[in-house]
Chain A
Amino acid sequence: MIEIVDLSKEYVVPPSLRQLLRGQLQSHVVCALAGLNLTLERGQHLAVMGPNGAGKSTLLRILAGLTTPTSGSVRVAGCDSARGGARLRRRVGLVLADERSFSLRLSARENLAFFAALHGLPRSAALMKVDRLLERVGLGAHARRPFHQLSTGMRQRVALARGLLGEPEVLLLDEPTRGIDLAAAAELRALLHEAIAQRTVLLVTHDVTEAAALAQQVALLRGGRIDALVPPSEVAAQLAAAGVAVA
């Protein structure tokens, strides 16, 4: 379902004006991913963990077709992610932690109806689907409240509902419980547990508990490469071996 072969991603950073004036004409290259290999079978759930700058978000965005690899091959649900394309985006649902990606003044219902239209659903069908999804994520009673009035936990539920609009085969989750209190995070994980059943999932997280709750395997990413691929129960040991203290 997800096949990544020798994936590399480099960002070319051009010199700033100050550098140019100092005679530093060369751009410098930032290597986000360096020869990453990974295979995820249908229905598998993988958590990706690693320090900031390890390449996790870049990996997610390449899988979603939002950015192209520098080299290597990435196939998601049978589609080449470098080409992007509607076929890929129909099969992939992206759940972002960025609550700025919604219109703050619109209600949760109208926000989701807008994205449902971007999935090609006519208005009446879009509203029916949105109402069902909002009930499913426990926000039926808050559907018509302006987005800016919702708590962080509620906003993340709306983000999850958006990721499920297209009924994707593959779900990509970018730190879904970031910034949420423990109780709300636990509720959201319960919803995620139900949502990811039968789907292929790649979850980016900093939370070992979350990885254990939602994933069968954990990939530890460092310097653009997978350092280790282990069951969740061995993550703490692996991190300790790498000199990272885990609370």
Chain B
Amino acid sequence: MPRTPIVVAAFFRRALLDAASQRAAGLVQLVGALGALSGVLFLSRLIDATPNPLFASYGSYAGFLLVGLVAAELQRAVSVALTTRIREAQLQGTLEAMLATPTPIWLILLGLALPELGATLLRATMQIAFGILLFGISFAHADWGATAATLAMTLFAFATLGVLGAALTLRLRRADPLTPLLTGVSMVLSSVLYPLSVLPEWLRPIGEWMPVTPALEALRGATLAGQKLSAIGLPLGKLALFFLLLAPTSAWLFAGALRRARTDGSLATY
């Protein structure tokens, strides 16, 4: 049997067993997250009280907001998944023991990140379900094929940020400084909470090229406005361009950081 599925399954099983032993903490975290989401969705009712042409194609501001928050959380989580797990494994001392096995480094790092990504997608699904069931947000017009394609492209694009963050973590031997900055700036400039048209004109070009912006344009189009793949081609093209430009750079930087960490012995220890 090929090694990759065995190793990936082992990482998932370990993460599930670990999570199961901390059920209460996980539940509290979930309740907290859904509580915070409820707060902003209740607030959105103030905006939806009066019809607003900015949100007409999305059904409501609540739907616009829900997709925005879920996408922003996806960006944050995908960007930090690898970095967080590497740092955690270094500090816990488990990384050294893993690296002493025949499994290649890239597969260990993938195994560390994948359960976190799975948990993020599960949380996103629960948040969407929460929005549908408790706040009546409708995804009845969604084009699921376009949604799936957008989600895949979005994850690939965000993952390049994760690899870049991981390279910085290895090189600097401390928590990734890039992702919190990017997440914060995205919340302001990337149409997470409001359309780009609300921003001053000089800020809009910056917002246009933040990776979350085309992701949100495509996701909202596919899920809320029922747009087909051809209609969201431009934002998907921007995401693809982002991926094509950043993926080789971040991979090269990561490989260099990994080589350096092996040389100075800092890969397995903090």
Interfacial residues, chain A to chain B (CB-CB below 8 A)? 11-12, 58, 61, 64-68, 84, 86, 89-90, 92, 94, 96, 98, 100-103, 105-106, 110, 113-115, 117-123, 146, 162, 166
Contact = CB atoms under 8 A, between A and B. Distances in A.
B102 A86 contact: yes
Contacts of A106: 14, 17-18, 21
Nearest to B22: A105
B34 interface: no
Nearest to A11: B264
A117 B10 contact: yes
Contacts, number: 98
Nearest to A70: B263
B234 interface: no
Contact of A94 (B1, B14, B100, B108): B100
Contacts of B18: 103, 105-106
B267 A66 contact: yes
Given A58-B265, A61-B265, A90-B102, A101 B93 contact: yes
A102 B14 contact: no
Contact of A114 (B13, B100, B264): B13
Contacts of B1: 122
Given A103-B14, A105-B21, A122 B97 contact: no
Interface of B: 1, 3, 6-7, 9-11, 13-14, 17-18, 21-22, 92-94, 96-104, 108, 262-265, 267-268
18 contacts: A67-B265, A86-B102, A89-B100, A98-B96, A102-B94, A103-B94, A106-B14, A106-B21, A110-B13, A110-B17, A114-B13, A114-B14, A115-B97, A120-B102, A120-B103, A122-B1, A123-B6, A146-B21
Given A103-B14, A113-B10, A89 B268 contact: no
A61 B96 CA distance: 10
A169 to B, nearest CB: 13
Contacts of A162: 97
A117 B7 contact: yes
Nearest to A113: B10
Contact of A66 (B13, B104, B268): B268
A119 B262 contact: no
Nearest to A115: B101
Contact of B101 (A96, A113, A119): A119
B6 A121 contact: yes
A67 B263 contact: yes
A191 B148 CA distance: 55
Interface centre among A11, A67, A90, A162 (most CB of B within 10 A): A67
Contacts of B6: 117, 120-123
B170 to A, nearest CB: 14
Contact of B10 (A118, A146, A166): A118
- 7 tightest Cβ-Cβ pairs between the two chains A and B: A117-B10, A100-B93, A118-B101, A101-B97, A67-B265, A86-B102, A105-B21
Contacts of B22: 105
A114 B264 CA distance: 27
A67 B236 CA distance: 42
A119 B94 contact: no
A113 B6 CA distance: 11
A196 to B, nearest CB: 17
A96 B96 contact: yes
Contacts of B100: 64-66, 89, 92, 94
A103 B1 CA distance: 26
Nearest to B14: A114
A236 to B, nearest CB: 32
Contacts of A94: 97, 100
A102 B14 CA distance: 11
B265 A66 contact: yes
Contacts of A103: 14, 18, 94
Given A86-B104, A103-B94, A166-B101, A118 B7 contact: yes
A18 to B, nearest CB: 16
